[in-house]
Chains A and B, each alone.
Chain A
Amino acid sequence: MKHKMVRKTVREFSEAELGPIAHEMDRDARFPWEVVEKMRPLNFFGLQVPKEYGGADLDSISYSIVVEEISRVSGAMGLCVTVHNSVGIYPILRFGTDEQKKRFVPRLASGECIGAFCLTEANAGSDASGVETHAVSLGDGYIINGTKIFVTNGGVCSLPLIFAVTNAADSARSAGVFILESDMAGYSVGEIEDLCGMRANPVSSLFFEDCRVPQENLLGKVGDGIKIALATLDTGRIGIAAQAVGIAQAAFEASVKYSKERQQFRKPIAAFQSIQNMLADMATEIDAARLLVYRVCALKDAGKPFGKEAAMAKLYSSTVSSSVTGRAVQIHGGYGYSKEYDVERYFRDAKVTEIYEGTSEIQRLVISRSVLNELT
């Protein structure tokens, strides 16, 4: 009953506050601060944060439901919320000192600051070893120089986590994750990217020019970077998978409604078997994807390893999302191709779920490695 109520509550909020403006947000690439203002007191920015830091302390299934329901109305806001919660706060909760948690988590959980995780660079996409952003130790802190690109929430985050190497010759063992504040000297935000989908999310580059970062802002120790990044991505995948399910769900619901209304050959197109087959497949695939997400949530909350399952959920959900939204446009025919209907937005939004937070190709790498390493 709790999960049902979480779904209802978030759906009601999303439909009321994001529903009417989702089309315009996407068209104008506008981040809806006025809705963020309303989301803050409702714990959307501290979903799995413990009560002592001002969060809602939700279980992972509830968290996935929140992300799914927001994404069902606005993929871009669902992205903002999941990235903030999973890769923006989670690393600090998992790897931070008590002092760091006290200093940073409440500000993030309240939504006062929005988080992000910056890994990708021009030469470092799937190949994280190509990272060039470096941090030079000064004894009581670091100076960071470099550029991160395609940062989700880039244009609005104020407490991003930055993955940097301290020794270019040995990037794997010298990487660290640093907590930066957007008002630090040397920190600047690049232009917002003009993207195909998720347009209301201000994705941008971040530039660090001799950015001075105090020692207390290093998460864990130098050398922990890769470990933190991998754990973070594993968790992040759950949210992205939930997001993909939400977008697919929206496209599916629109398709069901449309096929009942649209008449051709003197019948609603829902009467034709080819449409019925498409709807049946879409419903089944979305359900399977959702259950994969819930499965990995259950593993995570039980404290069990979940890397493979997270990759599976992300791989499958994103693939399903792209495919379902494509079929949704098809079912809508010419009207689906027009911006008058929302399905073309779902179609554009869905595609990136196969790319970010580890491409589908990387997910397959993770899964196959796990499968091949399993003890027989």
Chain B
Amino acid sequence: MEERVPEIWVFGDYRNYFQNRVTLQLLSRATDLAAQLHASVCATVFGHQVDEWVGEYIAHGAKKIYVVEDESLKDYSTDLYVTLMERLAREYTPEIILVGATTFGREFAPRVAKRLGTGLTADCVGLDINKDGLLVQTAPAFGGNLLARIITPEKRPQMATVRPGIFQEIPHNYQATGEVVMIPLPDDLPRDRVRLISSERKPPTIQKLEDAAVVVCGGRGMAGKNKFRNLYELARLLGGEVGATRPVVYSKWADDEALVGQADKHIRPKVLFSFGISGAIQHTAGIIDAGFIIAVNKNPNAAMMKMADVAITADANQVCLALVKELKKRLRG
């Protein structure tokens, strides 16, 4: 009997195609993993009028696509897709199934795993093959404070949902070819128990502070409402937004909208200036995803100073004013 090539399957999550690139990212990683396992990269696509996605997935690394196409599948239905995936997996026995950790994926994947009686690791930030040929799934815990490496030693397929943005997609290859396997819709599919009443695409909300690439945050160390206002000038010059800590908002030096913290807005700027902030956990929990952090505080031991890439020990207000002055000079030229 011919030895079957093991298959790594990537679920085709094509909704929101242009913002959601996770399927392509997974196809890229699957290609790396397949090389180590001498396996082949496949994708699954369920839906209606899906040729575009089939083409995209082949161009981005899939060598085989399992397609179930029917008008009844035109909107995502978790119930139907779970059953389809279960049946396909039982018939074709993939070694690994990868699903993007979108809201859909995070419900879809566990249900498939349960039906197949196998293990699933959620929201992975790493996928590797170890010396025993097992998929090592790296997943965050405690908000990313800890990472766990997990394996599924016996049950198959090995399954993982993967966080979008972790892997890089392979550039579009117009020459790529792949096999398309059309699977007819089973006629004994159970009725979908969840009825879709309405679905509308929400326009992406403008979240100025949460999406800003540069944020200037100020705390009690700015000493007063008028001095705090200087931060707005700095933010304007940097093309960024102003954030504030809770005491500042309570003292009405800034609006509620500016509140950054654990229970408020979480920001992910590439550059964060932090003025006169001590670094209480209620605030810092909102900035853990910040990139380059410059903190200014009279007190060199403030927790915020320890978290920063650059810690400036000086009066926050004076540094703010000096920054504004220097920026104006350099931007003029």
Asked if B313 lies at the interface with its beta carbon under 8 angstroms from chain A, I say no
Does A335 belong to the interface (CB within 8 Å)?
A: yes
On whether A20 and B247 interact (CB within 8 A), knowing A261-B306, A262-B301, the answer reads yes
CB-CB nearest in chain A for B219: A340
Which residues of chain B have C-beta atoms less than 8 A from A24's C-beta?
A: 247, 250-251
With both chains docked as a complex, state the minimum distance between the C-beta of A72 and any C-beta of chain B, in angstroms: 16
* A35: min CB distance to chain B, Å: 12
B residues within 8 A CB of A258? 301
Interface positions, chain A 12-43, Cβ under 8 Å from B, are 20-21, 23-24
Q: Mark B293-312, 1 if CB is under 8 A from A, else 0.
A: 00000011111001000000
- Would B301 and A20 count as touching, CB distance under 8 A? no
Across the interface, name the chain A residue whose C-beta is closest to B221. A340
Give Cα A258–Cα B306 distance, bound, in whole angstroms. 13
Contact across chains for A20 and B220 when beta carbons are under 8 A apart: no
* Chain A count of residues within 8 A CB distance of the other chain: 10
Residue with the highest number of chain A CB atoms closer than 10 Å, among B221, B247, B278, B300: B247
Bound CA span A340–B245, Å:
14
Q: Does A263 contact B (CB under 8 A)?
A: yes
* Cα of A335 to Cα of B282 in the assembled complex, Å: 21
Are A340 and B220 neighbours in the complex by a CB distance under 8 Å?
A: yes
Shortest Cβ distance from residue B91 to the other chain A in the assembled complex, whole angstroms: 52
B106 within 8 A of A: no
Q: A261-B301, A262-B301, A335-B299 are in contact. Are A20 and B246 (CB under 8 A)?
A: yes
**In this complex, what residue of A is CB-closest to B303?**
A261
Q: Which residue of A lies closest to B300 (CB)?
A: A263
The answer to whether B306 and A23 touch across the interface, beta carbons within 8 angstroms, is no
Bound complex: CA A63 to CA B251 (Å): 32
Kindly identify, within residues 95 to 127 of chain A, every residue whose CB is under 8 Å from any CB belonging to chain B: none
| Residues of chain B lying within 8 A (CB to CB) of residue A340 | 220-221, 278, 299
- Chain A 243-277, CB-CB to B under 8 Å as 1, else 0, gives 00000000000000010011100000000000000
CB distance from B147 to the nearest CB of A (A): 25
CA A23 to CA B249, docked complex, whole Å = 13
Residue of B246, B251, B300, B301 with highest tally of chain A CB at under 10 A: B301
Contact code string B25-41 (vs A, CB < 8 Å = 1, else 0): 00000000000000000
Q: In the complex, which residues of chain B have a beta carbon less than 8 angstroms from the beta carbon of A20?
A: 246-247, 250, 282
| B contact residues around A261 at 8 Å (CB) | 301-303, 306
What's the nearest-Cβ distance from chain B to residue A19, in Å? 8
A-B contact sample (5 more), CB < 8 A, given A20-B246, A20-B282, A21-B250: A24-B250, A261-B302, A261-B306, A263-B300, A340-B299
Q: Can you report 5 residue pairs joining A to B where beta carbons are below 8 Å apart? A: A24-B247, A24-B250, A262-B301, A263-B300, A340-B221
